[in-house]
């Protein structure tokens, strides 16, 4: 069961249990977004929860700017429609590429698949990088990486080398994101 606040923000929280072979129940813990500030970047409520396969998924619109305690005033960063930017057939992604990376829990550089959902033509996009340890998502606002779904202790930093943005998460993860993947140009 999930509940939302009664104010205009409709912020969500979860009360959930998992059945253990019909013998006992375990509490399902969904950490507050405050515990992972990078994941909450652009958050202004309007949560939606869904059971997807064997996972509980929390979704919410991402706003370009957030004033503390303000009601949603910005425009959510919604994906561009297929009529404005072509989609990879059968997906919600606008493009796919192979990038140089060192994913979570790995030490050797390799190539990773990277997929993009563009949210404008100004460099605002979400890059998803599926991996063995799960999917890494990086939010770009106006061409700069500003948030990821990494743990809060894995600070996001970046540097530019020509048309490539090198995103660093903590001390080990590295992703080389070509500008053209983000912008579509």
The 10s digit of each residue's pLDDT in 2-12 is 676 777 667 77
pLDDT confidence of residue 178: 96
Average pLDDT over residues 19-33: 80
Average pLDDT over residues 30-40: 66
Q: What is the C-alpha to C-alpha distance for residues 3 and 11, in angstroms, rounded to an integer?
A: 8
Q: What is the C-alpha to C-alpha distance for residues 147 and 155, in angstroms, rounded to an integer?
A: 9
Confidence of residue 66 (pLDDT cuts 50, 70, 90): very low
The pTM (predicted TM-score) of the whole model is: 0.65
Average pLDDT over residues 116-136: 88
Provide the 8-state DSSP code for 44: -
pLDDT confidence of residue 92: 87
Q: What is the C-alpha to C-alpha distance for residues 159 and 97, in angstroms, rounded to an integer?
A: 20
Which residues have CB under 8 Å from 87's CB, separation 6+? 93, 94
Could you state, in order of their start, the residue ranges of all structural domains in the chain?
2-59, 95-183
Q: What is the C-alpha to C-alpha distance for residues 30 and 16, in angstroms, rounded to an integer?
A: 9
Alpha-helix runs per DSSP H in the chain: 179-183
Pair 119, 138: CB distance under 8 Å: no
Indicate if the pLDDT at residue 47 is higher than 80: no
Residue 147 has phi, psi (to 5 degrees) of -160, 160
């Amino acid at each position: 069961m999930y509940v939302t606040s009664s104010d205009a923000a409709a912020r969500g929280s979860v009360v959930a249990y998992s059945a253990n072979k019909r013998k006992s129940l375990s509490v399902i813990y969904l950490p507050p977004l405050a515990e992972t500030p990078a994941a909450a970047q652009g958050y202004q409520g309007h949560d939606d929860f869904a059971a997807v396969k064997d996972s509980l998924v929390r979704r919410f619109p991402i706003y370009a700017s957030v004033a503390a305690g303000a009601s949603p005033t910005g425009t959510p960063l919604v994906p561009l429609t297929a009529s404005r930017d072509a989609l990879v057939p059968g997906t919600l992604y606008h493009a796919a590429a192979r990038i140089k990376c060192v994913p979570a829990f790995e030490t050797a550089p390799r190539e990773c698949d990277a997929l993009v959902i563009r949210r404008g033509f100004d460099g605002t996009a979400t890059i998803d990088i599926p991996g063995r340890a799960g999917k890494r998502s990086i939010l770009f606002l106006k061409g700069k990486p500003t948030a990821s779904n990494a743990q809060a202790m894995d600070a996001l930093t970046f540097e530019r080398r020509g048309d490539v943005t090198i995103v660093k998460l903590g001390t080990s993860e590295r992703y080389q994101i070509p500008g053209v993947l983000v912008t579509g140009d």
